[in-house]
């Protein structure tokens, strides 16, 4: 029997545009957009993930030409308290622009992810995965569609163990994405 898992889904009529503008802000730096499908190995050059080989590996696998998805942004960081939490938020769109245009495809992804989460013990129901669906414009292609911002967290008693837990969860995500 499958265990309980929690996937929080939000559908927003707001919007983002890709490519986005680089810049600095109070929370850090927004680095220039790079379409990794054109060059998956360039993931190693993204400052946000450069120190985390498992994140580089994730980006390289997802962004292979001909795969279902591509990434359009990534954020990661640590929260330290009683335990250490390594959080990653990754923006995903469909490489097939006809699938990108219909939000129900994102809802199918949510269902598939929930099924994967429920089939193992690596996702704590008290530690939900956040799945945000938002309008998206690909400016260079003049394409309208939807982006999924998926937020996952790994926990541990150190940065290393929190990262290892996050890497385990990203491997489950890869089963759904590839």
Which pLDDT score, from 0 to 100, does residue 25 have? 78
Would 138 be classed as within a structural domain? yes
1 domain residue, yes or no: no
Rounded Cα gap, residues 85 and 92, in angstroms: 22
Burial environment of residue 93 by CB neighbours within 10 A (0 to 12, 13 to 18, 19 or more)? buried
- Parent domain of 81: 7-177
Q: Is 107 among the domain residues?
A: yes
Is residue 119 reached through a cis peptide bond, with omega within 30 degrees of 0 on the bond before it? no
Query: What DSSP character marks residue 33?
Result: P
Q: How far is it, in rounded angstroms, from Cα 48 to Cα 34?
A: 13
Counted domains in the chain = 1
User: Is 147 exposed, middle or buried, given 0-12, 13-18 or 19+ CB atoms closer than 10 A?
Assistant: buried
Residue 2 lies in a domain: no
Q: Which residue from 147, 148, 154 is spatially nearest to 52, judged by alpha carbons?
A: 154
Alpha-carbon radius of gyration of the chain: 16
pLDDT in tens, the chain (178 residues): 457 889 999 999 888 999 988 888 777 788 888 899 999 999 999 999 999 999 999 999 999 999 999 999 999 999 999 999 999 999 999 999 999 999 999 999 999 999 999 998 899 888 899 999 999 999 999 999 999 999 999 999 999 999 999 999 999 999 999 9
Q: Please report whether residue 52 resides in a domain.
A: yes
């Amino acid at each position: 029997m499958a265990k309980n898992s929690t996937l929080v889904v939000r559908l927003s009529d707001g919007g983002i545009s890709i490519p986005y503008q680089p810049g600095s802000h109070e929370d850090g730096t927004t680095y220039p957009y790079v379409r990794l499908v054109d060059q998956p190995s360039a993931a190693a050059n993204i400052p946000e993930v450069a120190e985390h080989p498992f994140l580089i590996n994730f980006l390289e696998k997802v962004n292979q030409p001909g795969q279902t998805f591509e990434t359009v942004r990534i954020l990661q960081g640590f929260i330290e308290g009683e335990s250490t939490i390594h959080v990653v938020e990754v923006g995903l769109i469909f490489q097939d622009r006809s699938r990108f245009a219909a939000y129900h495809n994102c809802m199918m992804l949510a269902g598939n992810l929930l099924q994967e989460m429920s089939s193992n013990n690596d996702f704590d129901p008290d530690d939900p995965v956040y799945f945000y669906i938002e309008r998206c414009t690909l400016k260079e292609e003049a394409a309208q569609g939807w982006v999924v911002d998926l937020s996952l967290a790994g926990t541990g008693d150190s940065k290393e163990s929190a990262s290892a837990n996050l890497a385990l969860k990203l491997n489950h995500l890869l089963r759904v994405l590839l």
